[in-house]
């Protein structure tokens, strides 16, 4: 199963309305809690409404909270965002704590971010500041006026030392050592 075969859109990192530049705006605008007053599946939801809902509304004045009781239907949370996204979540048989956590997730995210697979984890308007690298960046400026082909710039200095060169080096070293020995003897 590859990502190609999933019904999952891919996208890039975006934030609506330059959010966070200068000021930050909470993106969750409206949250609707649908529940049943009598069924057991809504038990956790009813607990949340009784204990935490007033505090939630007090702490987050930017979020509009609606309650929608309906008979014999499972509980549902729907969040609506500034960019038009709508997130629907079934919370049947979820406990009070679980519902608290899910509502926090809905509040802090900036839209329906779970519906896209991110292709990149960074977005920038300025991909390069010092200019993109070319083969000539950080090269000796003398190269600009050199006449090519030149032995200085064209030399292949990336090859490992060959056996011949090694032998020659050894020979030279030997010559030097024999010379010094001769000198010592002469002294």
Partner 1 sequence: MAMIRASLQKLSRVFHGGQAGILSRLATNLAPVENKSVSEISKDVIAECNQLIEKNASRNFAIVHLLGKQWRVTDGDLLVVEGIWPPNIGDQIKLDKVLLAGTKDFSLIGRPLVQPGLVNVTATIISKGLSHTRTHFKKKRRKQYMRINFARAQQTMLRINAVEITNKINAKASNEC
What are 37-40's contacts with CB under 8 Å, separation 24+? 37/69, 37/71, 38/71, 38/72, 39/72, 39/73, 39/74, 40/93
Which residue in the set 55, 58, 122, 138 belongs to the binding site for partner 1 (CB under 8 A)? 122
By the rule CB under 8 A, 89 interacts with partner 1: no
Residues 91-120 that bind partner 1 (CB under 8 A): 105, 108-111, 113-118
By the rule CB under 8 A, 21 interacts with partner 1: yes
By the rule CB under 8 A, 13 interacts with partner 1: yes
What tokens does 91 get?
Answer: 């919370």
Options 9-17, 34-42, 47-55, 175-183: segment touching partner 1 (CB under 8 A):
9-17
Which residue in the set 7, 24, 138, 171 belongs to the binding site for partner 1 (CB under 8 A)? 24
State the nearest-atom distance from the C-beta of 108 to partner 1, in Å.
4
Asked if 69 contacts 35 with a C-beta cutoff of 8 angstroms, the reply is yes
Handedness of CA 134, 135, 137, 141 (dihedral sign): negative
Q: Largest Cα–Cα distance in the chain?
A: 117
Asked if 72 contacts 39 with a C-beta cutoff of 8 angstroms, the reply is yes
Nearer to partner 1, 13 or 170 (CB): 13
By the rule CB under 8 A, 153 interacts with partner 1: no
Asked if 89 contacts 114 with a C-beta cutoff of 8 angstroms, the reply is no
Which residue in the set 38, 130, 137, 157 belongs to the binding site for partner 1 (CB under 8 A)? 130
By the rule CB under 8 A, 138 interacts with partner 1: no
Nearer to partner 1, 127 or 160 (CB): 127
The rounded distance, in Å, linking the Cα atoms of 47 and 10 is 38
Nearer to partner 1, 129 or 183 (CB): 129
- Closest alpha carbon to 40 in 88, 78, 73: 73
Binding-site ranges for partner 1 (CB under 8 A): 1, 8, 13-15, 19-21, 24, 26-27, 105, 108-111, 113-118, 121-126, 129-131, 141-142, 145-147
């Amino acid at each position: 199963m590859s990502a190609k075969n999933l019904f999952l859109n891919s996208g890039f990192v975006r934030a609506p309305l330059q959010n966070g530049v200068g000021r930050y705006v909470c993106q969750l605008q409206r949250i609707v809690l649908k529940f049943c007053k009598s069924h057991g599946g809504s038990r956790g939801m009813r607990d949340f409404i009784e204990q935490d809902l007033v505090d939630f509304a007090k702490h987050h004045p930017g979020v509009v909270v609606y309650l929608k009781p309906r008979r014999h239907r499972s509980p549902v949370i729907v969040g609506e965002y500034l960019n038009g996204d709508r997130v629907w979540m079934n919370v049947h048989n979820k406990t009070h704590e679980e519902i608290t956590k899910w509502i926090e997730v809905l509040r802090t995210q900036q839209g329906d971010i779970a519906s896209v697979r991110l292709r990149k984890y960074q977005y920038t308007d300025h991909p390069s500041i010092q200019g993109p690298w070319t083969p000539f960046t950080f090269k000796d400026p003398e190269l600009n006026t050199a006449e090519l082909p030149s032995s200085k710039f064209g030399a292949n200095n990336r090859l490992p030392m060959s056996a011949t060169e090694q032998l020659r080096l050894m020979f030279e070293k030997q010559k030097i050592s024999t010379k010094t020995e001769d000198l010592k003897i002469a002294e």
